[in-house]
Amino acid sequence: MARSRLGIGIIGTGWVAGAHAANFLQIDGCRIVAVCSRRRSRAAQFLAGHSIEDAGAYDDLDAFLAHDGLDVVVICTPHPNHPAETIASARAGKHIVIEKPVALNRTDLNSMVRAVRKAKVLTSVCFELRWIGLFRNIKAMMAQKLIGNVYYGECSYYHGVGPWYGQYGWNIKKDMAGDALLTAGCHALDGLIWLMGSRVTEVAAFSNTSPKNPLKYEYDPNSVAILKFDNGSIGKVSTSIECRQPYLFPVLLQGDKGTIWNDQISTISWPGLRKESWASVPTDLPDSGDVADHPYLGQLQYFVDCIRTGKRPHNDLEDAAHTHEVIFAINEAIKTRKNVRVRK
Ligand SMILES: NC(=O)c1ccc[n+]([C@@H]2O[C@H](COP(=O)([O-])OP(=O)(O)OC[C@H]3O[C@@H](n4cnc5c(N)ncnc54)[C@H](OP(=O)(O)O)[C@@H]3O)[C@@H](O)[C@H]2O)c1
């Protein structure tokens, strides 16, 4: 059982690291005790920028992990760094928050899962939309069977990631980002799997790049996949990170008693609802790509509670491994132009 006060350490000093620091500073009993950067001066600057005193600034991962009082490591670096940083943190006995995607290939993913299992540490993967008001409402409405038995679901991620974002320089590179789903669309895929409450068994998919590739992506920035779920439902997930439009994250779920369309519901479970009309349920929507607007606070507070009570988080690495396996299957389907079964 961890101490009631938790020491938090962050790896990386970029955009998302700032959001994690700002959120952990709001959680009772948490203290940021160390930051690790490729440059020690940048770690020190990051700490000063967040008015954090008495914390260690490091440019060496082993020295950072040995910091006295460090309990939780938060990995905020580009994707290829996540496996080695996760494995080292697990071996050092730290609980770990891992930014998505956790890995770019199955070999790394499996090594991470093995290391975390062996170390018996807890993990929290940043699929933070599970804590946004819209998702929490939909989960509750589905538990109340307001739309009956669900047979179809779709969720999409449409958000242009261009030079106006700090990560753009490395995110357009195939070996750094992976693909459109791994780097961004994974939020829509994980959200759909979470809301449907069933695992994906089989996929078919296509991807493309617009004819002139204006954002110079080294991989297809657009993809669409159709999914078959274990419970017999079907679904669709689309991604575009080269689109030029406001951030859009549409969610549609259809059941035999009604339909949920973002923050609206049409259901025959409510006898007084006018026939074929929508009822709106005001809530927080996934309508911003800014990390300052993301519901990290709910995710991180829940993780801290899990550490304190020893409960397994529902968004841990083993759970996220399924979302990543679905992406690997989608990539194979795009390549082979055949339906692909998802590995267990
Ligand atoms: N869950 C979400 O909604 C969400 C939103 C945005 C981003 N993310 C994820 O968060 C992670 C970081 O993204 P970000 O937008 O914060 O990126 P970023 O602003 O570029 O920050 C990444 C940080 O990682 C460190 N780093 C280590 N090796 C690096 C390398 N080879 N190239 C560039 N930076 C390197 C850098 O810190 P030092 O220079 O101090 O070493 C840098 O500041 C990614 O996994 C991304 O997908 C998640």
pLDDT digits (tens, 9 = 90+) for 248-273: 999 999 999 999 999 999 999 999 99
Cβ-defined contacts of 258-265 (< 8 Å, 24+): 258/146, 258/147, 258/148, 259/147, 260/138, 260/141, 260/142, 260/147, 262/134, 263/134, 263/137, 265/141, 265/146, 265/147
What residue type is assigned to position 150 of the chain? V
Candidate from 10, 11, 15, 239 with most ligand 1 atoms within 8 A of CB, to mutate: 15
Say how many Å lie between the CA of residue 81 and the centre of ligand 1.
Answer: 10
Q: Give the whole-angstrom CA distance, residue 280 versus residue 265.
A: 7
Distance CA 87, CA 175 (A): 20
pLDDT digits 0-9 by tens, 142-175: 999 999 999 999 999 999 999 999 999 999 999 9
The string of pLDDT tens digits covering residues 300-314 is: 999 999 999 999 999
190 touches ligand 1 (CB under 6 Å): no
Question: Residue 327: which region, alpha, beta or left (left: phi > 0; alpha: psi -120 to 50)?
Answer: alpha
Model confidence at 1, pLDDT cuts 50, 70, 90, reads very low
Question: Which residue's alpha carbon is nearest to atom 33 within ligand 1?
Answer: 78
Residue 258 CA to ligand 1 centre (angstroms): 41
Ligand 1 atom closest to Cα of residue 294: 3
Per-residue pLDDT of 19-35, as tens digits, reads 999 999 999 999 999 99
* Beta pairing class for 264-267 and 258-261: antiparallel
What's the gap in Å between 263 CA and the centre of ligand 1? 31
pLDDT digits (tens, 9 = 90+) for 324-339: 999 999 999 999 999 9
CA-to-CA separations, 297 to 47, 112, 267, 294, 327, in angstroms, rounded = 19, 25, 32, 8, 27
61, 80 in Cβ contact below 8 A?
Answer: no
Q: How far is CA 180 from the centre of its chain?
A: 13
Smallest CA separation from ligand 1 atom 40, residue: 37
Tell me, using a 6 A CB cutoff, whether residue 166 lines ligand 1.
yes
Q: What is the mean pLDDT of residues 88-112?
A: 98
pLDDT at position 2 over 60: no
Q: Among positive and negative, which fits the CA dihedral 135, 141, 143, 149?
A: negative
Helices (H), 166-237: 168-171, 174-177, 180, 186-196
Ligand 1 center–CA 95 separation, angstroms: 20
- Cβ–ligand 1 contact at 16 (below 6 Å): yes
- At 177-234, the pLDDT tens digits run 999 999 999 999 999 999 999 999 999 999 999 999 999 999 999 999 999 999 999 9
CA dist., res. 331 & res. 344, Å (int): 16
- Block residue for tokens 């609980």: 95
Residue 37 CB less than 6 A away from ligand 1: yes
Ligand 1 atom closest to the CA of 126, numbered from 1: 1
User: Does 3 score more than 90 pLDDT?
Assistant: no
Name the closest-CA residue to atom 24, ligand 1. Answer: 77
More confident residue, 344 or 107: 107
pLDDT over 90 at 94, yes or no: yes
Average pLDDT, the chain: 97
pLDDT band at 4, cuts 50/70/90?
confident
d(CA 244, CA 147): 33
CA of 14 to the centre of ligand 1 (A): 5
115 Cα to the center of ligand 1, angstroms: 23
The domains of the chain, with CATH numbers, are: 6-128+297-315 (3.40.50.720), 129-287+323-341 (3.30.360.10)
Whether the CB of 94 sits within 6 Å of ligand 1: no
Instruction: Provide CB contacts within 8 A for 234, sequence distance 6+.
Output: 151, 152, 226, 227, 228
